[in-house]
Amino acid sequence: MLRTYIAIVKVSLKSIFANKSSVVILLFQALIPSIVMFYLWSAIVNGNQTIGGFNKSQLVVYYIGVNFINSFVWYAIDWELNEDIHSGELSNIIHRPLSIHNYYFAKMIGDRLANLLLLAPLLLLGGIYLFVNQLWQISFLVLVEFTISLIFAAILWFLFSYLVGSIAFWFDNLFFVLIVKEVVVNLLAGYYFPLEILPKQITNVVKSLPFQYFSSFPIDVLIQKQKLSFWLSNTIIEICWVVLLYFVMLLVNRKGLQRYSDVMG
Amino acid sequence: MEQTMIDVKNLSKEYLVTNRRDSLKDTLKNIFKPEQTVVEAVKNLSFTVKPGETIGFIGQNGAGKTTTIKMLTGTLFPSSGTCKINGFDPTKRETNFKKSISVVMGNRSQLFPDLTPRDYLSLLQTMYEIDEREFTQTVDNLANTLKISNKLDTQTRKLSLGERMKIEFLAGVVTKPKVLFLDEPTIGLDVIAKRDLRKFLIKLNKDEQLTIFLTSHDMDDIAAICDHLIIINHGEIIWNGLKQDLLAKFGKSKYVTFTKRENFDATNLKAKIVTQDELTITIKVPAGEVENAVAALAANKQGSDYQISDLKLEDIIIELFAKENE
Ligand SMILES: Nc1ncnc2c1ncn2[C@@H]1O[C@H](COP(=O)(O)OP(=O)(O)OP(=O)(O)O)[C@@H](O)[C@H]1O
Ligand SMILES: [Mg+2]
């Protein structure tokens, strides 16, 4: 069974590389927002000023980091599921000897690995630049913490988006819902700006939601010299979210498939 | 071996369709109190299919063919009734059930457009756990029969419709299913491609005892491939039996087609009119009376250029539906 899903990962990865245009688009998608955000913040924060505890060089690292995480984590599984449900494409997967959520997960992994491979040279260059210019020092432990957080972020992201996409089992047109979700989640995850720059109370509320684990938390681990206990306690909470969402996902998936099979097939 | 491959009992499907209303007020009503009508797509179907049979599942547009296939393959759940495929209940979606069937739909591609057919096929090989050497051999063989060997390494999105359909077929059978469900698989194919596909299916059925369940609006497909016909009309079976028996039942008549002449008078005809236009007419005459009928028409100078033909499957089906819908 596992071999099948590994094969799906490969196929998904191969699909990305098969399309040169998608490769180019991907690079632009990763680069342009980082550059825009970087200039925006450079204009606001000058000299030795800090904002939400971030100085200018940390903000640079923040945006590079956020986009790195982005390219590994954020896969539009919700849009894809919505499309597959309404086009009936889902039936092609249902009658295969596969489990639907594992199929989509394998697809996401393949797609994200492709992204990572494509962006690796850029990230490496960026990393070296930061390192050489001594904008950034990092310990091995932090790197390990960060990698683990990245993997959990991908899993949590998958569960969350899969749930959002599952709404399509019950409703016809999700376009508006998905757009709004996109903006809200980006905001709460810390993609637009570090969550720390919000007023304290709001930051506290936002940080008790699962969304911060998509971007904000891994990047904090990477650049804010936090204690191990900070990482550990957050990771335990994150795992709880993963477990919770996993069971909700199984339930919703079962009900959704039942409904799909009752009305659409 | 199972005595029956497909066993359908009182299978029904009702769809609830929400009536759309246009004004804003009605849109709100739609959300809170939708007005729904029930569409009975399939009504109380019962039939059985033996292993190795080739079924032609025939019906007009909207008769319920696709709905039935979806229920038999487990993607759609019945409203009532049951079906068993090779002993499995499709709604349980067991892995062994899924491995024992294949579905090819003419209007829905299952291939991955960005990849080559070979990539896709090798994914299937892993998914269905088929021995690699055996698999490669089957693919080569079948690709040869389908005359598609040279396209296996072309990106799928660059294939023509016919080439793509051939790959869908190939993908449908390399997984070694017990039953192959085909929903209008020859839509949009040229005559040569159709011929290749028919030959391919007939060969598979002979060599592998593959059970084939086929819907098509092309009666030549059905005539070439199927030996057992199930004909449905508005979701209900109106004929279930061997193709031979159906042909024999209608074989007692022939069609006589001729060009109308100046003396032509429809009221003088004793035979039933099948079709007619300004210039020509086709009538149905009992086989034994054809000669007399033609002689009489000729004597009265009613027509010229007489052509006598057996009823083709298509003619029979048209007559059946005409009778049903009277
Ligand atoms: N998802 C659905 N929701 C509501 N009604 C449906 C749905 N699918 C099919 N129907 C209705 O059910 C009936 C049977 O449809 P079905 O697709 O099974 O016909 P078919 O025999 O395959 O026709 P065709 O030859 O045109 O493909 C039709 O009246 C159709 O409008
Ligand atoms: Mg149909």
- Say if CB B186 and CB B106 are below 8 A apart: yes
Question: What tokens were used for A167?
Answer: 């709404």
A137 vs B4, higher pLDDT: B4
How high is the pLDDT of residue A62?
82
Taking an 8 Å cut-off on Cβ atoms, the answer to whether B75 and A261 are in contact is: yes
Taking an 8 Å cut-off on Cβ atoms, the answer to whether A4 and B126 are in contact is: yes
H helix or E strand, kind and range, residue B257: strand B253-260
Rounded Cα distance, A70 and A33, in Å = 11
Residue A225 forms contact with B (CB below 8 Å): no
Question: What tokens were used for A221?
Answer: 């681990």
A36 vs A148, higher pLDDT: A148
Interface residue of A10, A96, A260 to substitute, partner B, most B CBs within 10 Å: A96
Q: What is the pLDDT of residues B187-237, one digit of tens each?
A: 888 999 899 999 999 999 999 999 999 999 999 999 999 999 999 999 999
From chain A, the residues in CB contact with B182 under 8 A are none
Residue A44 confidence class, pLDDT cut points 50, 70, 90: confident
Q: How far lies B15's CA from each of A262, A264, B12, B79, in Å?
A: 8, 9, 10, 9
- Say if CB B290 and CB B251 are below 8 A apart: no
Q: What is the pLDDT of residues A204-258, one digit of tens each?
A: 999 999 999 999 999 888 887 788 899 999 999 999 999 999 999 999 999 999 9
Residue B240: helix, strand or coil by DSSP?
A: strand
Taking an 8 Å cut-off on Cβ atoms, the answer to whether A11 and B119 are in contact is: yes
How high is the pLDDT of residue B59?
95
Q: What is the mean predicted confidence (pLDDT) over B175-180?
A: 96
Q: What is the pLDDT of residues B245-277, one digit of tens each?
A: 998 888 888 999 999 888 788 777 778 888 888
Where do the H-state alpha helices sit in chain A?
2-18, 20-44, 56-73, 77-87, 90-94, 100-132, 140-166, 175-189, 200-207, 216-223, 228-263
From chain B, the residues in CB contact with A14 under 8 A are 114-115, 119
Residue A47 confidence class, pLDDT cut points 50, 70, 90: low
For ligand 1, what atom is nearest to the CA of residue B16? Answer: 4
Rounded Cα distance, A177 and A165, in Å = 10
Q: What is the mean predicted confidence (pLDDT) over A187-195?
A: 89
Residue A97 forms contact with B (CB below 8 Å): yes
Rounded Cα distance, B216 and B184, in Å = 5
Rounded to 5 degrees, what are φ and ψ at B303? -155, 180
Rounded Cα distance, B116 and B108, in Å = 18
Residue A121 forms contact with B (CB below 8 Å): no
Taking an 8 Å cut-off on Cβ atoms, the answer to whether A261 and B76 are in contact is: yes
- From the CB of B39, is ligand 1 less than 6 Å away? yes
B179-183 and B101-105 beta bridge pairing: parallel
- From the CB of B15, is ligand 1 less than 6 Å away? yes
B28 vs A179, higher pLDDT: A179
Q: What is the mean predicted confidence (pLDDT) over B171-198?
A: 93
Provide ipTM, 2 decimals: 0.85
Ligand 1 centroid to Cα of residue A59, in Å, is 57
Average pLDDT, chain A: 87
Residue B125 confidence class, pLDDT cut points 50, 70, 90: very high
Rounded to 5 degrees, what are φ and ψ at A45? -95, 120
Q: Domain ranges in chain A? A: 2-264
Q: What is the pLDDT of residues B55-99, one digit of tens each?
A: 999 999 999 999 999 999 999 999 999 999 999 999 999 999 999
Q: What is the mean predicted confidence (pLDDT) over A191-202?
A: 87
Burial zone of B186 (CB within 10 Å; 0-12 exposed, 13-18 middle, 19+ buried) = buried
Q: What is the mean predicted confidence (pLDDT) over B91-112?
A: 94
Chain A (233-262) residues lying within 8 Å, Cβ to Cβ, of chain B: 258, 261-262
Q: Which region among A136-150, B82-96, B129-143 has the lowest average model confidence (pLDDT)?
A: A136-150
- DSSP secondary structure letter of residue B311: P
In angstroms, how far is CA A110 from the centroid of its own chain?
A: 14
Q: What is the pLDDT of residues B5-58, one digit of tens each?
A: 999 999 999 998 877 666 666 667 666 777 788 999 999 999 999 999 999 999
How high is the pLDDT of residue B324?
85
Angle at B116 between CA B111 and CA B117, to 5 degrees: 55
Taking an 8 Å cut-off on Cβ atoms, the answer to whether B115 and A18 are in contact is: yes
Q: What is the pLDDT of residues A103-134, one digit of tens each?
A: 999 999 999 888 888 877 877 887 787 778 77
Whether residue B186 has pLDDT greater than 60: yes
Give B48's strand partners. B7
- Say if CB B111 and CB B171 are below 8 A apart: yes
- From the CB of B306, is ligand 1 less than 6 Å away? no
